[in-house]
Amino acid sequence: MQTQMQKNEIEDLKSALRKAELARKKAEQILGDKNFELHKTNQKLASTNKMMEALLNDQSTQLNAIVNNSSLGIVLTEKGNLIKANNAFKKILGYSEIELKKLTIKDITHKDDLFNSLKYIKKLENGTINDFLMKKRYRRKDGNYIICKTNVTAIRDAKGRLKYQVALIEDVTVSEQHVNMLKAINLLSVSILGKNDLFDISWEIAKNTANHLGLEDCVIYTVDIKKKMMTQVAAYGDKNSEGYTIKNILTIPIGKGIVGTVALTGKAELINDTTLDERYIVDCNVRCSELAVPIIVNNKVIGVIDSEHSEKNYFNKVHLDTFTNIANLAAAQFNNAISLLKEEASKTEKNKLLIKLEKSNIELNNFAQVVSHDLKSPLRSMSALISWIHEDNHYLFNHETNDNFEKLLKKVDKMDHLINGILKYSSIDKTNFTSQNVDLHELVTDMIDLIYIPNHFSIKIKTKLPTFKSNKFKLQQLFQNLISNAIKYNNNKKAEVIIDCVEKPKSYLFSIKDNGIGIDPKYHKKIFEVFETLEESDENSTGIGLSIVKKIITLFDGKIWLESKFGAGTTFFFELKKDTPKV
């Protein structure tokens, strides 16, 4: 029984063994599979790694390419030291990589911008800000300064502490200069607008140019073409202490020095290194670069704008362009000023002449008055004395002598006529020129009644003469002289004088027509001159009448002319304004 039992047990064991064997095999199988998988995964991992590596390499190259080819200067700094910089940065500042690594931000920052720069960096450090943007000036290796737009970003470690700073810089020097130049020109044009004093304009230009462009100095020279010299008229910088004075004004012959050359050639000069230019004249201090631009008016150099700088290579094309613009502006303003001065000078000259003329006119009139009166008195005495001698002795004289006495008296008469003529002529002037409403028709009608008119004469007024504002006395003199003339020079048996008037919009056109002896056209001008009479031995004619007429017409700002032929009568035309001029 036991055996059966044993047999059963053995069977059981065997089965268990088989099972175990099977399980082991299965486990082995699984392990093998796993191993394979692992291997595969390993292989995959390796290839991924390789890919990753390649990818990383690729990206780094790309980044480097971007960084190094960027037109922006890029620099990595750690605690103010320059760690890494791209090509653009090196190029902008002019340093090599090795040189840069020895420098700190402080070394390349303009001292005036350092304070602001540090202030921002502090904020980066204490975490108030993560980036900032500022415009600052960097010092190039050659010593010149450039203006850069600078964008700084903080790079922090895991704990948020500032580790690196990345700065992107863009050189805006030229555009900044352009802006400044434009601003300078604008401000300058405003400041010299309306100024017409050469001195004022020069000072404005010197001051504005130097200030707005940040120049060390600016000097304006004027050119004296006659003396072939040029003189400083305005100087900003070392040359002036304060206000509008120049210390030790420099005078340079045209053609000498750089400024003198510009004055001679009319071409601007930009000198990068004055120590190499033998023309350079030392003014106050030796300066290494110079810019001189001519101010040209009407193709002539009238001045030069000059600036010098202690550094070599300071001035660039932008400066030159700006100076040229300023010179053009100055030229225009100077031209205005000069023409204004000329105009003013000629105006004052004219006024002076006018006053002088008026004075001499008054003097002449007074002279004529005084002399005439002084002549009149002795003439009266003479006349009396002649009369007395004649009266007392006429029975002693023969016929001829008595006759001569009569002739003598007639000459005295003639003399008196002439003196009266001069008196009348010289008394027609602006004084006593009052105007009131004058009824010309009444005036002329009354006059015709009063003056002597021979019987065979007819005087007609064709249309009613107007009433207008004028000077009664002078109008009377005017018509009286013309009518008297018309009567005097008429030997026609049916003599007539016709007075007429035509109204025009702003004036009256009068005409006095006679049928008398007429006047040869060649005398038409001459007859208005003083003492011109056409008949030589005319006792009654003084040659004053028509010159008085002319003088009155001139005083009234009117016109007079005549139409006449010898032997065919004369018509005098004259035009008087309705509004008498204010005298």
Partner 1 sequence: MRLTILLVEDDEIELLKFKKALNKINSPIKILSAKNGEEAIQLCETSLPNLIFLDLKMPKMNGLEFLSLLKNNEELKSIPAMILTTSNNHNDINNAYKIGIAGYIVKPLRYDAYVAQIKKVIEYWCINELVKR
Give the footprint of partner 1 on this chain (CB under 8 A).
369, 373-374, 376-377, 379-381, 383-385, 387-388, 409, 412-413, 416, 423, 427, 432
Placement of tokens 């006449």 in the chain: 564
Closer to partner 1 at the Cβ: 47 or 432?
Answer: 432
Closer to partner 1 at the Cβ: 157 or 391?
Answer: 391
Closer to partner 1 at the Cβ: 148 or 422?
Answer: 422
Min separation Cβ 365 and partner 1, Å: 11
Closer to partner 1 at the Cβ: 187 or 412?
Answer: 412
Closer to partner 1 at the Cβ: 307 or 541?
Answer: 541
Closer to partner 1 at the Cβ: 387 or 401?
Answer: 387
Placement of tokens 């550094």 in the chain: 311
Min separation Cβ 551 and partner 1, Å: 16
Placement of tokens 């120590």 in the chain: 275
Closer to partner 1 at the Cβ: 238 or 413?
Answer: 413
Tokens representing residue 337 in the block: 């000023």
- Supply the angle between the helices 399-427 and 545-555 in degrees, to the nearest 10: 10
Residue-level length of the chain: 583
Listing DSSP states for 375-395 in one string gives HHHHHHHHHHHHHHHHHHHTT
Placement of tokens 């005298």 in the chain: 583
Min separation Cβ 380 and partner 1, Å: 5
Q: Are 220 and 235 in contact (CB under 8 A)?
A: yes
Q: Are 187 and 212 in contact (CB under 8 A)?
A: yes
Closer to partner 1 at the Cβ: 267 or 373?
Answer: 373
Min separation Cβ 408 and partner 1, Å: 12
For residue 402, the Cα-to-chain-centroid distance in whole angstroms is 83
Give Cβ neighbours of residue 550 (< 8 Å, ≥ 6 apart): 528, 560
The two most distant CA atoms of the chain are separated, in Å, by 234
Closer to partner 1 at the Cβ: 103 or 409?
Answer: 409
Min separation Cβ 552 and partner 1, Å: 15
Listing DSSP states for 407-474 in one string gives HHHHHHHHHHHHHHHHHHHHH-SSTT---EEEEHHHHHHHHHHHS---TT-EEEE-SPPPEEEE-HHH
For 234, 369, 541, the CA distances from 341, given in Å and listed in that order, are 19, 41, 52
Straight-line distance from the first to the last Cα atom of the chain, in angstroms, rounded to the nearest whole number: 176
CA 81-85-86 angle, to 5 degrees, is 170
Placement of tokens 């707005």 in the chain: 212
Min separation Cβ 474 and partner 1, Å: 12
Min separation Cβ 526 and partner 1, Å: 29
SS3 of residue 567 by DSSP: coil
- Supply the angle between the helices 472-488 and 545-555 in degrees, to the nearest 10: 150
Tokens representing residue 466 in the block: 């107007």
Beta strands 289-297 and 300-309: pairing type? Answer: antiparallel
Closer to partner 1 at the Cβ: 67 or 412?
Answer: 412
Closer to partner 1 at the Cβ: 99 or 374?
Answer: 374
Beta strands 162-171 and 218-224: pairing type? Answer: unpaired
Q: How many CA atoms lie within 13 A of 438 on its CB side?
A: 20
Closer to partner 1 at the Cβ: 481 or 564?
Answer: 481
Min separation Cβ 370 and partner 1, Å: 9
Q: Are 556 and 581 in contact (CB under 8 A)?
A: yes
Closer to partner 1 at the Cβ: 244 or 397?
Answer: 397
Q: Which residues pair with 222 in a beta bridge?
A: 231, 303
Rg of the Cα atoms in the chain: 56
Cα 162 from Cα 127, distance rounded (Å) = 8
Min separation Cβ 427 and partner 1, Å: 7
Cα 230 from Cα 220, distance rounded (Å) = 10
CA dihedral 280, 282, 284, 286 (to 10 degrees): 70
Closer to partner 1 at the Cβ: 346 or 432?
Answer: 432
Closer to partner 1 at the Cβ: 379 or 461?
Answer: 379
Q: Are 494 and 530 in contact (CB under 8 A)?
A: no
Min separation Cβ 383 and partner 1, Å: 5
For 49, 247, 349, the CA distances from 240, given in Å and listed in that order, are 75, 6, 36
